[in-house]
Amino acid sequence: MNIKQGSNKRKKHWVVAGGSLGGITAAYNLLISNNDVTLIESAPVIGGVNNSICWGDFTLDFGCHLFGNEDDTTTALLMDLMDNQVVPVDPIIASITNGIKTEHIEYPDLTSFGSRQVSLALYDLIENINSDNYEGMAGRSMIELLSHRYGVTTANIISDTLKKLTQTDVSNLSADCFEALPCRRVKIVNDESAKLLKALPVFDDLILRSSPDEPMFHYGKTANIFPSRAYYPLTGGMGGFSLRAHSKLEKMGAKIRLKSKINNIECKSDTFNITFNDTEKQIADGLIWAAGGETLSKVVNIKNNLDAQIHKIPLILYYFDMNSTQASKYSYIHDFDDTHFIYRASIPSNYAPNVCPEGRSYLCCEIPTNTDSDIWNSPEKYEQLIWDEALSIGIVTGIKPLNSLIKNVPVSYKFPKVNLYEELQPIISWIKQQKNIFLLDQTIFAKSSIVRYVSDICSELS
C-alpha cells in the first residue's frame, strides 16, 4: 500500500510535541500535505508504548499489541509508515467470565451469569431501546453511558467485569473511556440468537456476535484491501514499527529531536518561538501538542489540576521463556474474573515473527494493580501463582519455566475521570486565543481510532 506525497511547495513549518502514535500520525499527515515538520520527543525513541525491549535473544513487547485492520485508509497509512513490512494476523482469542471460557471473543460473556440474569438484562435492554428518551451514547460518567445504552441491569453487570482492568468503580470515570474499554457491544445471547437480533439495525451496534470463520465480518464494509483482521511488524516486534516510522518520517523530510523537552512557547501574531532543551529555538507556524494537556499547561504556566483527573493504572508484566511446545493456540485471552490477578495473557510468538530463539516461545501476563498492593511491591513472590493462573485458563501447559522476567510499569492505562473536561477549560481557553495550536485528545486508546482522529484533524488543517 502506498500513499502519494503531494507535489505543492511547502508552506508552513509545524512542530509536533510528542512522538506517540498520535504524534507520529500528525507528523506523517503534515508531511504528506507538504509542510515542514519538527517532531520533538522526550524519550530516546518515538512510538511510546509501541516499542520493544531485548531480553537475551527475545524481543519483548510491553504487553499484547497488534494493529487492527478496521478501515483501508488507516491501514494504508500505518503500512506506509512500515514500508509494508508486516505480517497478516487473524488472532485466536478467548475470554474468561465467571470461570467460563468463551472462544472467539475478547469481551465479557454475560451469558455466564445464568439464564435468569440474562433474561432480565435482555428485557431491560429492549425496554431501554423502546423508551421515548432513549439516548444510546448519553451520559457524563461511564456508568451513566452504559445505563443509557444497555439499561441498568446490563450496565451494573458490565461495571463489575471492568473493575479488574480499571481498578475503580466506573462511576468515577468519564464517558470518554467508552472506546477504550471492552463494552462497545455486549455478549448477552448465543451467536445464533445474536445473528437474528443483529439483523435489526437497532441491535446491530449493541449486540456482540463472534465470527471465527469470517475474521473480517465486522469490518468488511470498511476494510477491503488487506485480507486479515490484524497485522504486525515483520521484524523487531512492536519496536519494528517505531524504528520504521522514525526512518520513514526522516526520509519524508521531518526533523526528529529525541531526548528533548519543550521549555517555553512564545506566541507571536502568526508564528511561535518554541524553546526546547533550555537553549535551542524553533520558529513555527503551527503546533500540534501530542504530549498531554498537563504538560502543555506546565509549559505555558496555566494552573489546573489535570493530573488528578487522570486515573492511572500501574501494571506488572510477567514474561516467561518457555519451550514452544508449552504454548497453546491462543494469541491472547482476557480474564475478567477478580479471583485471578491476570487481566490479559498473551503469546506474542504465536503471531509475531522473529521475536524468539528457535524452539522457544514466551508468555506475557498483564496484571493491573495499585502501588500499595503486595504484588506490586513484591512481584517475585507471585511468580508461581501467575504461572498457575495461566495454566488454569489454558493458555500454556507444563511446569513453570526457570527463566522469567518481571517489569513494573508505574503508568500503563490512563483513564479520564468525570471532571476532566472542566479541568481542561483553562488550557482550552488559552489555546483558543492562539492561532494554529492543537491539543490532541489523550483519552483515545485504540490504535486505529488514534490514527483516524489525528488524520481528520490534519485533513481540516490542509
Homologous superfamily, domain 314-412: Protoporphyrinogen oxidase, mitochondrial; domain 2 (3.90.660.20)
How much is the pLDDT for 287?
97
Q: Which CATH code fits 13-49+234-310+416-461?
A: 3.50.50.60
Q: What is the C-alpha to C-alpha distance for residues 33 and 286, in angstroms, rounded to an integer?
A: 14
**Which residues, at least 6 apart from 347, have a Cβ–Cβ distance to it below 8 Å?**
327, 328, 330, 331, 332, 361, 362, 363, 364, 395, 396
- Chain centroid to Cα 92, Å, comes to 19
Q: Cβ distance 211 to 133 under 8 Å? A: no
Q: What is the C-alpha to C-alpha distance for residues 337 and 398, in angstroms, rounded to an integer?
A: 23
**Which residues, at least 6 apart from 424, have a Cβ–Cβ distance to it below 8 Å?**
293, 304, 306
Using CB atoms within 10 Å of the CB of residue 180, give its burial: 0 to 12 exposed, 13 to 18 middle, 19+ buried: buried
Place of cell 526520509: 251
Q: What is the C-alpha to C-alpha distance for residues 327 and 322, in angstroms, rounded to an integer?
A: 8
Q: What is the C-alpha to C-alpha distance for residues 49 and 39, in angstroms, rounded to an integer?
A: 17
72: region left, alpha or beta (phi > 0 left; psi from -120 to 50 alpha): alpha
How much is the pLDDT for 167?
97
* Residues making up the chain, counted from first to last: 462
Torsion (CA) 218, 222, 227, 229 in degrees, nearest 10 = -40
Average pLDDT, whole number, for the chain? 93
- Joined together, the cell numbers standing for residue 139 give 451520559
Strands 262-267 and 272-276, by their bridges, are antiparallel
SS3 assignment, position 138: coil
Domain boundaries, the chain: 13-49+234-310+416-461, 110-204, 314-412
Looking from the CA of 344 toward its CB, the CA atoms found within 13 Å total 21
DSSP symbol at 9: P
Give me the average pLDDT of each 10-residue run along the chain (462 residues).
47 95 98 96 96 96 96 96 96 96 96 92 88 73 93 94 96 93 94 92 91 75 88 96 98 97 93 94 96 94 92 97 98 97 97 94 98 98 98 98 97 93 93 93 89 95 76
Q: Where are the alpha helices (DSSP H) in 19-114?
A: 21-32, 72-81
- Joined together, the cell numbers standing for residue 449 give 481510532
Q: What is the C-alpha to C-alpha distance for residues 272 and 292, in angstroms, rounded to an integer?
A: 19
Q: Cβ distance 313 to 373 under 8 Å? A: no
How much is the pLDDT for 415?
94
* DSSP secondary structure, 97-123, as one string: ETTEEEET--S-BGGGG-HHHHHHHHH
Q: What is the C-alpha to C-alpha distance for residues 247 and 253, in angstroms, rounded to an integer?
A: 10
How much is the pLDDT for 7?
45
Using CB atoms within 10 Å of the CB of residue 302, give its burial: 0 to 12 exposed, 13 to 18 middle, 19+ buried: middle
Angle between helix 72-81 and helix 238-251 axes, rounded to 10 deg:
80
| Nearest alpha carbon to residue 442 among 417, 415, 423 | 415
- Which stretches does DSSP call E strand in 195-303? 230-233, 255-257, 262-267, 272-276, 280-284, 286-289
